[in-house]
Structure 1
Amino acid sequence: MTQRFKTSMAMMMALLMGIFAVSVNPGHTYASVDVDAESAILVDAETGKILFEKEADLTLPPASMTKMMTEYLVMEAIEEGRISWDDTTKVSQYAYDISANPEFSGVGLRLDEEYTVRELYEAMAINSDNATTIALTELIAGSEGEFVQMMNEKAAEMGLPDYEFVNATGLNNSHLGDNHPEGTDPDATNMLSAKSAALLAYHLTNDYPEALEVSSKPTLEFSGQTVTNWNWMLPGMPGQNLKQFEYKGMDGLKTGYTELAKNTFTGTAERDGQRFISVVMKSETRASRFNETRKLLDYGFNQFTRQEIFPAGESIDNQSSLPVTKGKEDKVAIETSEALSTLVKNGEEEQYDIQFNIDEDLLDNEGNLVAPVEKGQKVGNATLVYNGEENYGNIISKSGQTVDIVTSAGVEKANWFMLTLGAIGEFFSDIFTGAVDMVKGWF
């Protein structure tokens, strides 16, 4: 064997080993998407399935992505009738001082003017205005400090895994000086993980889809001036220099920047009924946060399709029925109540199983259903199980996607005569079994 051949073989083996190493552990090598940001995540906006993540549990300053929680609480207050879109308010000295500070994004509020909730909300969501955000918190809660308590309570209610809200805007508290919210540290900053930001965006877009009607607007007319959305990926953004960032289907959601947080972006786009939510945190430049978001969304739209994995009425061979006691039938068939569908990565159609989980609280001590049994009666749930390598989990459910398991038919309760005969039969059966055991004991 020549030295050249030995060298070629060694190089080939090294290459194969490298490919193998990437394929067996893609969740840690980020082989699916090369995202140039400290933290990132891509999520199916319908089911919460995580399609990709990079250090998504790392807690970082979210900057103005914080305003997604403020948006949610404003929408909730409107839904509950505590405020309306047409309500008007003047701004406080605190909000005015923030608006007049040229270091912060602002639409130029005036102390002597009244603004509607809609005007304030749109300036917050489109132009990331900090002063209008503060004005809304004061309208809803009386003070930003009280509103911050609401933010943290709602985060707990949503099940955000990693969060700390200290103000409503996403600025560092040090930016606010003596006006930092009561009960918070003067040097504190909001903290979120990419996973928490994605879950917050999931709740905002699913609970209040009208939020996307606002966040999708490229520009806003406010008090006689035109202000521009900071989301450069929106179709129809003004200025030729922004056309390079335009992304088909993009309609939200929230950008952010502070010196500490660097550039952050929670984006969402929909094409042909499929919506994705992406989060990029601590990206180096304004442009890069959009370029990295494009990578994530392209990966979702190009590599995944929604497929029905198991149809409604599915059963498992060894769990196709449950035993029934005190009924006219001694068992009943069970099946899934609806189809199990998910986003499937290209080539992974065979990587899914179904798992039946019977609710044991519905069974007697012998594991039977007790008649009568209704048709369509829920007896447990079925879980979709993914057996592939890139299993990142789900932001809304630890168990993944589930549907109900129900009975395929009803079973009537047996009449008293048949139940009596059954009891007599069981009685003599027990006597016979006892006698046989006794005789066996003699020998």
Structure 2
Amino acid sequence: TKMMTEYLLLEAINEGRVKWDQEYSVSEYVWKISHDTNLSNVPLRRDGKYNIRELYQAMTIYSANAATIAIAETLAGSEENFVKMMNKKAEELGLKDFKFVNSSGLNNKDLKGFHHTGTEDEENVMSARATAMLASYLLNDYPEVLETTTIPKMTFREGTEDAIDMQNWNWMLPSLVYGFEGVDGLKTGTTEFAGYCFTGTAVRNGTRYITVIMNAKDESGKGTYKSRFDETKKMFNYAFSNFGKEELVPANYQVKGQKTLPVIKGKEDKVKIETKDPITMVVKNGEKENYKTKLVLDKEKLNDKGELTAPVKEGEKVGTLTIESSNEGDLEFLSEKGKNKIQVDVVAAEDIEKANWFVLMMRGIGSFFGNVFGGISSTVKGWF
């Protein structure tokens, strides 16, 4: 849930609707939540003012719930309006199996009576896939989030009597107790309903993975802070040990048997075609050969005989090349955005100028007599 709040805040910052140094005046709702010691929080003064950056840091590093609600109120005027923004954005991003009922991820019964009427027993719900998609969009659209998620420790209101030390709840950051090489985010979450959850991300040698763990339990079946990191470690070890980026198609690649397209009305009767860019994909070790290419030509560029009409410009798009699995079943991607990464343009590799009128006329004459002689030849053969 807080990842969606982070996304909407960073979007607003990027669009200039909110500024980092903008001040927030504490509402009664936020004040009451902030002083609940059973929840993850930084206590806020009822008459206090806090800038958006420090509230964002408290939310992102320390999972501070009241700070999260404060951000929601800043962006939408009320948490109720903000929840509408959350659900709308989730639909825009193509998430499935989700429902946001508040900005923090708490059960509505923990909101001190400030929940929307008739929703006391409701909770935010997201599938593992929807959570992974949200994490992917957050990292790709606003990578600056990592500047904060990588902070292992920070003091809230440092230098004041309200100073509070915040340790990042992501204990897999390299300097913390369950440190793992390459981990730089992203968000923990714990509720009675969902159990111990963690959306992790790690990068090594330019390859980044996202993992989602929900309701993690140890060997005895008990949910613990450690269990979610133990399960995440297993997933990261599996990913980094068994998968890697492979260039499946180089730039300027030509499909065997389809290296050219016929051209009419040109100085040349065919043109070379090739991929504009390479295709790189994460594949399981040793399975690079399990993929094949599929060329799809742009029918609007071709006549009924499958020919291009001159002039043809170098770099002109004539189709697309996509990667397919040699085995049964389609390749699966987290989103359409990911699927589009294995599709590249196929373009003309050279200019084909249009032939002048004289050449075209002579070709027409030659074609006419060729057809005449062909007809005579067929007729003569028919006599015998």
SS at match of 1:347: coil
* Residue equivalent to 1:200: 134
CA apart distance, 1:172: 2.2
CA apart distance, 1:423: 4.2
> Kindly tell me: are residues 417 and 225 of structure 1, through their superposed partners in 2, closer, same or farther at Cα, counting changes over 3 Å?
same
CA apart distance, 1:426: 5.0
Unpaired segments ≥5 residues, structure 1: 1-65, 238-242
CA apart distance, 1:162: 2.8
SS at match of 1:319: coil
* Residue equivalent to 1:92: 27
- Are 2:325 and 2:331, in contact at CA under 8 Å, matched by a contact in 1? no
* Residue equivalent to 1:376: 315
Larger RCO: Structure 1 or Structure 2 (Cα < 8 Å, ≥ 6 residues apart)? 1
2:269 is aligned with 1:330: yes
Note the 1:233-382 alignment, pairs <5 A.
233-237=172-176, 243=177, 245-284=178-217, 285=223, 286-382=225-321
Corresponding residue pairs, total: 371
Residue type at the aligned position of 1:188: E
Residue type at the aligned position of 2:210: I
- Are 2:68 and 2:104, in contact at CA under 8 Å, matched by a contact in 1? yes
CA apart distance, 1:173: 2.5
Note the 1:12-411 alignment, pairs <5 A.
66-176=1-111, 178-181=113-116, 185-223=119-157, 224-237=163-176, 243=177, 245-284=178-217, 285=223, 286-387=225-326, 393-397=332-336, 398=339, 401-411=342-352
CA apart distance, 1:102: 2.6
Residue type at the aligned position of 1:106: N
CA apart distance, 1:369: 1.6
Q: Quick one: distance in 2 between partners of 1:386 and 1:230?
A: 40
SS at match of 1:256: strand
Residue type at the aligned position of 2:352: V
- Are 2:324 and 2:331, in contact at CA under 8 Å, matched by a contact in 1? no
2:357 is aligned with 1:416: yes
When structure 1 is superposed on structure 2, of 144-153 and 133-142 the one drifting more is: 144-153
* Residue equivalent to 2:220: none
CA apart distance, 1:159: 1.7
Q: Deviations over 1:152-173 (max 9, x none)?
A: 2222222223322222111122
Q: Quick one: distance in 2 between partners of 1:214 and 1:99?
A: 21
CA apart distance, 1:137: 1.1
> Kindly tell me: are residues 189 and 423 of structure 1, through their superposed partners in 2, closer, same or farther at Cα, counting changes over 3 Å?
farther
CA apart distance, 1:434: 7.7
- Are 2:41 and 2:62, in contact at CA under 8 Å, matched by a contact in 1? yes
- Are 1:384 and 1:400, in contact at CA under 8 Å, matched by a contact in 2? no
CA apart distance, 1:103: 2.8
Q: Deviations over 1:360-408 (max 9, x none)?
A: 2222233222211111111222112233589761112356612211111
Residue type at the aligned position of 1:210: E
Q: Quick one: distance in 2 between partners of 1:354 and 1:312?
A: 13
- Are 1:394 and 1:400, in contact at CA under 8 Å, matched by a contact in 2? no
> Kindly tell me: are residues 370 and 278 of structure 1, through their superposed partners in 2, closer, same or farther at Cα, counting changes over 3 Å?
same
Residue type at the aligned position of 1:253: L
> Kindly tell me: are residues 204 and 225 of structure 1, through their superposed partners in 2, closer, same or farther at Cα, counting changes over 3 Å?
same
Q: Considering only aligned residues, what root-mean-square deviation do their CA atoms show, in Å?
A: 2.6
SS at match of 2:96: coil
- Are 1:310 and 1:340, in contact at CA under 8 Å, matched by a contact in 2? yes
- Are 1:321 and 1:333, in contact at CA under 8 Å, matched by a contact in 2? yes
After TM superposition, the score normalised by the length of structure 2 is 0.89
Q: Quick one: distance in 1 between partners of 2:369 and 2:81?
A: 72
- Are 1:255 and 1:265, in contact at CA under 8 Å, matched by a contact in 2? yes
CA apart distance, 1:435: 8.0
Residue type at the aligned position of 2:187: K
Residue type at the aligned position of 1:81: G
> Kindly tell me: are residues 98 and 327 of structure 1, through their superposed partners in 2, closer, same or farther at Cα, counting changes over 3 Å?
same
Q: Quick one: distance in 2 between partners of 1:436 and 1:167?
A: 84
Q: Quick one: distance in 2 between partners of 1:400 and 1:206?
A: 13
After TM superposition, the score normalised by the length of structure 1 is 0.77
